[in-house]
Structure 1
Amino acid sequence: MQYVDVEIQSKHQIKGSVFLGFLVPYALFESTLEKLKKEHHKARHIVYAYRHLEQGSLQEALHEDREPKNSARGLLDILRRGDLIESAIIVVRYFGGVLLGVGGLMKAYSQSLQLCLQNASPKPFEPTQSVRQWVSYPVLEVLSARARKHGVLLKKQSLDKKGAWVCLQASPELLEKVLGD
């Protein structure tokens, strides 16, 4: 299994419709989706697929956002064939006035992900580890920024006057990037 650790974007056009692809680490999925919904509020459709390991169980999802059934199915199929986990693809579609049909949509959405994968360097997936530690508030700001940058999940567990206990979850490699220096 493998995963992507940075956001990768693609853009292509088919019969007037513009497709914007965003391949992201799963840890950034929800925040990226919300950001894209705000930035592209005039887009006709925002579809997505992801594969995520939650408490040892593989969770997969596909959302076609009012597109015909199975029109974005290729996104999940490509993630599976590429053995990608802890990764999500979001595709924003601006309708160009020409109906593409289910087959045309399948190709178009799949092409968005394939273009992203051409520029990706997936890393081998390592099971997630958790690190719990106390940090002062000034350090917490820096640590939070690093965690977002590297797709590391940071949860604040308890706060006091001088700092907070936090739990960081990611692969050992990503934890080292965030906690190093």
Structure 2
Amino acid sequence: MQTLLNTPTSRHQVKGSVFLGFLVPMLEFSATLKRLQKEHSKARHIVYAYRHLKDNTIEEALHEDREPRNSTKPLIDILRREDLINVAIFVVRYFGGVLLGVGGLMKAYGLALQLCLEQAQLEPFVVPMQICEWVGLGALEALKARGLKYGVQVVVKETQSTGAWVDLIGAPHLLEKALGH
């Protein structure tokens, strides 16, 4: 399995319709969806697909946003074929006045993802682990900042007068960086 290190985008046009692709790490899913809905409020469709590891099970979703059934299926098929995990693809469509049919839409949506993948920086996926650490209060904000920088989730569990117990969740090599080792 592989996961994404950057956030590539694509743009192409088919018979007047413009397709904008956005490939993002799953951690950015909600924020990206809100941003795209705001920035592209005049777009006809914003479709997405994702593959995400949750509780040792791969969750997949495909949202077609009123497009014909299965017209966006290539998005999930390509994510599977490329063995990508914890990744989401959004495609914004501005309708150009010509109906493309299900086959034309399938090609157009698949191309949006393929164009993003040409720019994608991928790395092998490592199953995240969770550790619990005691952190002095003076070091807590710095740990949170390093966690954000390295993609490690920092959850404060219990705060006391001198420090806090925190759970750190992430890939083992990133946990070491967040902890400053």
TM-score, normalised via structure 2 length: 0.85
Q: 8 Å contact 1:154–1:167 — kept in the other structure?
A: yes
In the TM superposition, what is the alpha-carbon distance from 1:94 to its structure 2 partner? 1.0
Q: 8 Å contact 1:27–1:153 — kept in the other structure?
A: no
Q: 8 Å contact 2:16–2:97 — kept in the other structure?
A: yes
Does 2:63 correspond to 1:59? no
Q: 8 Å contact 1:150–1:178 — kept in the other structure?
A: yes
Greater mean deviation of Cα atoms: 145-154 or 36-45: 145-154
The structure whose Rg is larger is 2
1:23 aligns to what?
Answer: 23
Deviation string for 1:43-84 (max 9, x for gaps)? Answer: 111111111111111111100000000000000000000011
User: How many pairs were matched up?
Assistant: 181
2:100 aligns to what?
Answer: 100
Ranges in structure 1 where 5+ consecutive residues have no aligned partner? none
Q: 8 Å contact 2:47–2:90 — kept in the other structure?
A: yes
Does 2:1 correspond to 1:4? no
| C-alpha distance in structure 1 between counterparts of 2:18 and 2:139, whole Å | 42
In the TM superposition, what is the alpha-carbon distance from 1:146 to its structure 2 partner? 5.3
Show the 5 A alignment for 1:94-173.
94-133=94-133, 147-148=147-148, 150-157=150-157, 166-173=166-173
In the TM superposition, what is the alpha-carbon distance from 1:158 to its structure 2 partner? 5.0
Compared CA separation, residues 160 and 81, structure 1 to 2 (3 A) = same
Amino acid at match of 2:42: K
| C-alpha distance in structure 2 between counterparts of 1:46 and 1:85, whole Å | 21
| C-alpha distance in structure 1 between counterparts of 2:93 and 2:139, whole Å | 40
Matched residue of 2:9: which SS? strand
Deviation string for 1:152-178 (max 9, x for gaps)? Answer: 444454567887654332222333454
Does 2:60 correspond to 1:68? no
| C-alpha distance in structure 2 between counterparts of 1:23 and 1:123, whole Å | 15
Amino acid at match of 1:98: V
Amino acid at match of 1:71: S
| C-alpha distance in structure 2 between counterparts of 1:32 and 1:159, whole Å | 32
Matched residue of 2:19: which SS? strand
Amino acid at match of 1:64: E
1:77 aligns to what?
Answer: 77
Identity of aligned residues (%): 59
TM-score, normalised via structure 1 length: 0.85
| C-alpha distance in structure 1 between counterparts of 2:65 and 2:101, whole Å | 15
| C-alpha distance in structure 1 between counterparts of 2:10 and 2:137, whole Å | 37
In the TM superposition, what is the alpha-carbon distance from 1:3 to its structure 2 partner? 0.7
Q: 8 Å contact 1:20–1:91 — kept in the other structure?
A: yes
